Amino acid sequence: MGAMKSKAPPVRSEERRYFKEVRFRQIRALFEISRQGSFAAAARALGMATPSVWRQVRALEDDYGVRFVAAKGRSVRLTEDGERLMRLAAPLVEGFDSLRKVFLDLQSGAERVLRLAASASVLNSPLRHVIAAYRLSQPAVRLTLIDAPSRVAWGMVESDSADLAIVGAPSGVVLPPRLSVVPFASHPFEVIFPEGHPLGKVRKMGLRDILRHPLILAGEDSSSRLQFDHVVSEAGLTSLVNIVMTAGNVPSILNYVGLGMGVAILTRSAIEAISFPAVKKAGLAHRDASAVLGHDNLVIVHPKGRHELDHIRVFREMAAASLKVDG
C-alpha cells in the first residue's frame, strides 16, 4: 500500500477571524496614500510593491463595506469616508511611528535633537530669548533652527523633517488635519511707507487706499502674504493689486520701500525684530493696518498623536509661557 498523505491541520475559526480582521498595515497603506497622493508613491514610502498597497486598501474597504479612495488619472484621493477614517486613524499611526524615537530617547547616552522651523522674523523676534534660555537649560540637546516661511515650515513638520514649527495661521487657510495647532501669539499687520507718503495723511485707511500704491510683499509661502491674498480676494479687489517686488527678508523689503518703489505690508513683530528706531532712522513710517488686514495669528504646530519627547515639550512650554498673545 502507498504511503498515506498527511493532511494539513484544520484552520480554527479563531484563526480565520484573525486573518480577516483589519490589520495595522492596511491602515498604514491608506495613511500613506493620503500623504503621497498615489498608490505608486505610497508604495515607495512603504517599501512595498504597488499591487501590494492596492490589495491592502481593497481589503480594508471590503472589511468596512465602503470605498476609501477614488482614482483620478494616476493620482488618488480619499473619499469622504476615507477622510473620516484618517481623522481617527492618523494619530494612531503617528503615535506608533514615534515609539522607536521615544524609546531611543529614554536610553542613557542617546543624542537629543530639536529641529525648529519658523520664519526669520519669528526667529529674530522675542523668540530668540526663549531659544537662548532653552540652550542654557538643555545643553545636551542639539538644537537646529530652520528659516522657512510658514507654509514650508508646517509642511516640514508634516513630513517629519522638523519637530516643531511656529507659523502664521492666516485667514482662509486650513492647516493640515494631522497637525496639532496651539495658539501662540498674535501681531497686527502694519503698512510701511516713506515719511510724508499719502497713506500717512489718510484719516481712516481702507483696503482700496492701500491698493492705490505699488506693493512690496513677502513671498507667497509666508503667512502675511497668504493673509493679504485672502483678504483682497474676499473683497473682490484682486485686479487692483500691483506687486512690484517680493522678498524673503525684512531688510530687503524696507530698503526698497526707502527707495520709493512701493509700500510694504509686514507684521509688527517682523519690524520690531530689526527695531523701530532703525526704521525711523531710515526715513520710514508705519501705520497699524489690522482693521483692514487683521492679525498674524502665530501658532505652534507638532504632529497630532505622536509621542512628544520631553526635551521638545520643554521648549514648547517655555515658548508658550514667554510669548503672550497681544492685540
Clarify whether residues 240 and 171 are in a common domain: no
In this predicted structure, the answer to whether residue 4 has a pLDDT above a threshold of 50 is: no
Let me know if residue 2 belongs to a domain.
no
Question: 75-100 burial string, b = 16+ CB within 10 Å, else e?
Answer: ebebeeebeebbeebbbebbeebbee
Residues 302-312: pLDDT tens digits?
Answer: 887 677 788 88
Clarify whether residues 142 and 207 are in a common domain: no
Clarify whether residues 23 and 66 are in a common domain: yes
Q: Domain with 170 in it: what CATH number?
A: 3.40.190.10
Let me know if residue 8 belongs to a domain.
no
Clarify whether residues 52 and 117 are in a common domain: no
CA-to-CA distance for 313 and 299, rounded, in angstroms? Answer: 15
Let me know if residue 1 belongs to a domain.
no
CA-to-CA distance for 316 and 188, rounded, in angstroms? Answer: 23
Let me know if residue 233 belongs to a domain.
yes
Clarify whether residues 211 and 258 are in a common domain: yes
pTM of the model as a whole: 0.70
HEC sequence for 296-321: EEEEEEEECCCCCCHHHHHHHHHHHH
Q: Are 229 and 181 in contact (CB under 8 A)?
A: no
Clarify whether residues 31 and 47 are in a common domain: yes
Rounded to a whole number of angstroms, the CA Rg of the chain reads 26
Let me know if residue 6 belongs to a domain.
no
Q: Which pLDDT score is estimated for 282?
A: 66
Strand partners, 266: 190
Let me know if residue 73 belongs to a domain.
yes
Clarify whether residues 135 and 113 are in a common domain: yes
Let me know if residue 136 belongs to a domain.
yes
In this predicted structure, the answer to whether residue 324 has a pLDDT above a threshold of 70 is: no
Clarify whether residues 31 and 173 are in a common domain: no
- Contacts of range 160-163, beta carbons closer than 8 Å, 24 or more positions apart: 160/303, 161/115, 162/115, 162/116, 162/117, 163/113, 163/114, 163/115, 163/116, 163/302, 163/309, 163/312
Clarify whether residues 65 and 211 are in a common domain: no
| Mean residue pLDDT across the chain | 82
Cα angle, residue 216 at apex, residues 215 and 219 outer, rounded to 5° = 120
Residue for grid cell 534660555: 133
Q: What is the DSSP string of 130-182?
A: HHHHHHHH-TTEEEEEEE--HHHHHHHHHTTS-SEEEEE--TT-PPPTTEEEE
Strand partners, 78: 69
Let me know if residue 41 belongs to a domain.
yes
Q: Are 265 and 289 in contact (CB under 8 A)?
A: yes
- End-of-domain residue from the set 71, 90, 109: 90
CA-to-CA distance for 318 and 165, rounded, in angstroms? Answer: 14
Number of domains in the chain: 3
Q: Which pLDDT score is estimated for 174?
A: 83
Residues 203-261: pLDDT tens digits?
Answer: 899 999 999 999 999 999 999 999 999 999 999 999 999 999 998 888 889 889 988 99
Expressed as residue numbers, the domain containing 225 is 186-296
Q: Which pLDDT score is estimated for 303?
A: 82
Q: What is the DSSP string of 256-287?
A: HHHTTS-EEEEEHHHHHTT-HHHHHHTTEEEE
Q: Are 267 and 253 in contact (CB under 8 A)?
A: no
Clarify whether residues 238 and 259 are in a common domain: yes
Which three cell numbers, joined as nine digits, stand for 51? Answer: 499591487
In this predicted structure, the answer to whether residue 92 has a pLDDT above a threshold of 80 is: no
Clarify whether residues 192 and 284 are in a common domain: yes
